[in-house]
DNA sequence: CTTTCTGCAAAAAGTTTGCAGCCAA
DNA sequence: TTGGCTGCAAACTTTTTGCAGAAAG
């Protein structure tokens, strides 16, 4: 992937097959996978890659602001190639994590900054419930 | 503490000194402590209490909906005796966690439910930044 | 050729569990 | 009395780290 390689180079990160695979996989999914999920999904194509490498790569990508780490309240962190600080909605039944379009919600940052006098850097908004698919499945 | 004892009994939990101490400590702080912080702060008065007991007690209190567990994105969980699902604001400098009054923010739940067709159960809203105290300290 | 990266294994950190004895009801 | 609770130690899970060899630039 030329694009990914360029982005890595810009941050003075060496372009390795492992990094390309992880970054590429994250860029082409909407599933917000955990480190373990990434590791398992790349096992077929990269059978020698270790879980430690997945963690080190994710750490490098987060530090370079090429991906973001999110914490939906499960045991493990999830990763997202969309680096905007956008709200997520999580199905507590199937554990899928979906994006919410930012423009669908009012901007709270300015309001909170005004009320609290904090200098705000980012926010994390999570909504939990049952997704439409799981709702019909339960019935 | 009579109040706390009664709340424990209502949920068929035995009233023990350890549970009273933990519940009481959580009810009288605004600091959203972690299990470790609770353990350390009760060491003086309850030197024989183990960290495992703190975890088991917190688990029992969460299950009884007497406290809530929050996940501000740090390594460890934090606990809050305020069981309403209210937004938090976290100082990334001093790691303090503050409450935000719910009525200061618009209610997003109905809006999100309408847009996504999820059946929503709860939400977690976290704002990150530098608190006023740390802002002046840095200068 | 230098520096960074990988992959293995071991360690760390937070949390959970098994179990024997203890205590609230 | 008895079923639930405590406290200890051991286990477990996710993530981090040290290090030797491998690969990128």
Alpha carbon B10 to chain centroid distance? 21
Residue numbers in B 40-79, CB below 7 Å of strand D: 46, 48-50, 52-53, 56-57, 60
Q: Which one has a higher pLDDT value, A33 or A105?
A: A33
Give A78-87 contacts, CB < 8 A, sequence gap 24+.
Answer: A78/A32, A78/A33, A78/A34, A79/A26, A79/A32, A79/A33, A79/A34, A79/A35, A79/A38, A80/A26, A80/A32, A81/A23, A81/A26, A81/A27, A81/A29, A85/A122, A85/A123, A85/A124, A87/A125, A87/A126, A87/A127, A87/B112
Give yes or no for residue A21 having a pLDDT over 70.
Answer: yes
B71 touches strand C (CB under 7 A): no
Backbone angles phi, psi at B124, to 5 degrees: -135, 115
Beta carbons of A112 and B120 less than 8 Å apart: no
Closest residue, by C-alpha, to the C1' of D14: A76
Q: What is the pLDDT of residue A2?
A: 63
Give yes or no for residue A1 having a pLDDT over 60.
Answer: no
- Position B3 confidence tier, pLDDT thresholds 50, 70, 90: confident
Average pLDDT of span A92-111: 85
Question: Tens of pLDDT along B16-38?
Answer: 999 999 999 999 999 999 999 99
User: A34: Cβ–Cβ under 8 A, 6 or more apart, which residues?
Assistant: A74, A76, A77, A78, A79
Backbone angles phi, psi at A122, to 5 degrees: -160, 175
Q: Which one has a higher pLDDT value, B52 or A108?
A: B52
Among A36-45, A104-113, B67-76, where is mean pLDDT lowest?
A: A104-113
Give yes or no for residue A104 having a pLDDT over 80.
Answer: no
Tokens of A14: 């060496």
Mark out chain A residues that contact chain B at CB-CB < 8 A.
Answer: 71, 73, 87, 89, 91-92, 98, 100, 104-106, 108-109, 111-113, 115-132, 135
Question: Tens of pLDDT along B96-139?
Answer: 999 998 777 888 888 999 999 999 998 999 999 999 999 998 66
Question: Tens of pLDDT along A57-91?
Answer: 999 999 999 999 999 988 899 999 999 888 999 99
Q: What is the pLDDT of residue A74?
A: 85
Alpha carbon A11 to chain centroid distance? 19
């Amino acid at each position: 992937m030329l694009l990914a390689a360029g982005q890595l180079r810009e941050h003075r990160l060496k372009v390795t097959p492992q990094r390309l695979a992880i970054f590429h996989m994250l860029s082409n999914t909407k599933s917000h996978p955990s480190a373990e999920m990434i590791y398992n999904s790349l096992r077929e194509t990269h059978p020698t890659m270790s879980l430690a490498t997945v963690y080190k790569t994710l750490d490098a990508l987060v530090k370079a602001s090429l991906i973001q780490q999110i914490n939906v309240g499960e045991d493990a962190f999830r990763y997202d190639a969309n680096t905007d600080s956008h709200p997520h909605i999580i199905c507590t039944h199937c554990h899928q994590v979906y994006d919410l379009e930012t423009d669908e919600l009012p901007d709270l940052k300015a309001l909170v900054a005004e009320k609290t006098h904090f200098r705000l850097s980012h926010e994390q908004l999570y909504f939990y419930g049952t997704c439409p698919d799981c709702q019909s499945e339960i019935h």
